[in-house]
Every structure is written in C-alpha cells, then in structure tokens.
C-alpha cells in the first residue's frame, strides 16, 4: 500500500498536557521520502503561480518554508516570536488558548506587491497564521495562499482563514484537538 504524508506523522498522547493528542511532524521530516512528498504536495497547487517569497511561521514552518523557497528559487522570510529577530520589526498580537502572544517580522522583509506563500506545519485555531497574514499585509505583500501539512478541523482555523479571504491548502486532517 502506498504511503501518504499522514502515515509519516506520529501521534503522542497527553503531550504537552493531559488530553492533548500531539501530532508530531518530526517523524515526517526525518524520512527523506516523506519529507520530499510533503514539500512536493505543498508546492503542487501553486505550479505556474507567481510567488516572490515564502513566509514560514515559527518554528516548524521554517523547516517547510525553507525547503519550499529553495524549490521555488525564491527568498524565505521568518515570522518569529517577539524578541527573536535582531533588526527593526513590526509586531502583531494574537490570542492563545490561555492568554496572548506576539509575532514579529523584520520591517523590510517584504516589499509592497510581493506575492507570498505562508507555510506552517499545523493549522489549529488559525491565530498564529492570522497574525502572520496581518504582518505580511501591513508590509504591503499579497498572500497567494496559506499551506499546512496538518489541519485540525474541529478547532476552526481553516474556516477563520477562509473568512479572511485566504486560499488554504492542507495535506491531511486529524480529528480531535
């Protein structure tokens, strides 16, 4: 039987808290065939589409985004947690399950009119990606799409991003939180 991307992802029960089913993509990244399959499938819908930069959301989005940017021969831009980027940044707060967090991007990372693909490993509530979208748009970039390896549909992230007018591409879904 032919393996799918989902087959390479391991589930760890009760991590980081009891009742959480953690979807671990490190097993996908560690397997050359699985990793290549994921990168190819994340890229496939955008063949022939102009993409100027790939934006990766901290931290596993850096791994995926770097590989995708390399395949496309375009630049990579990280969106990081507050205080991690050395240059002048702009910030965007977003809501977490318990509290608030802040993401940042260098204020010169994107130019007005640049077309960007936002990439991360997991789409849950969509809060992190929404913050990333707002940061990119504040710099004048246009979001081509948001691409993820995993969607947790019960948490509503895809619906949130689609309400914002985003094209959302996911490789697989897992039920539950």
Domains of the chain in sequence order: 45-173 (3.40.50.2020)
Catalytic (active-site) positions: 60, 97
What proportion of the chain, given as a percentage, has pLDDT over 90?
Answer: 93
What are the residues whose beta carbons fall under 8 Å from the beta carbon of 112, sequence distance 6 or more? Answer: 139, 140, 141
Phi and psi of 92, rounded to 5°?
-145, 120
176 band by pLDDT with thresholds 50, 70 and 90: confident
Whole-prediction pTM value? 0.96
- Over residues 74-91, mean pLDDT: 98
Rounded CA-CA distance 41/35 in Å is: 10
User: Residue 25's pLDDT is what?
Assistant: 98
């Amino acid at each position: 039987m032919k393996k799918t991307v989902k087959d390479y992802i391991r589930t760890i029960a009760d991590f980081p808290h009891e009742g959480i089913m953690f979807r671990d993509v490190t097993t996908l990244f560690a397997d050359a065939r699985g990793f290549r399959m994921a990168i190819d499938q994340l890229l496939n819908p955008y063949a022939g589409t102009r993409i100027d930069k790939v934006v990766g959301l901290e931290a596993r989005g850096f791994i995926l985004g770097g590989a995708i940017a390399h395949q496309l021969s375009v630049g990579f831009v990280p969106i990081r947690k507050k205080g991690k980027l050395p240059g002048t940044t702009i910030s965007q707060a977003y809501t977490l399950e318990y509290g608030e967090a802040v993401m940042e991007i260098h204020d010169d990372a994107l130019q007005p009119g640049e077309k960007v693909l936002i990439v991360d490993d997991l789409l849950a509530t969509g809060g992190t990606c929404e913050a990333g979208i707002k940061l990119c748009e504040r710099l004048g970039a246009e979001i081509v799409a948001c691409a993820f390896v995993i969607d947790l549909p019960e948490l509503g992230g895809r619906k949130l991003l689609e309400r914002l007018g985003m094209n959302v591409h996911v490789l697989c879904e897992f039920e539950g939180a």
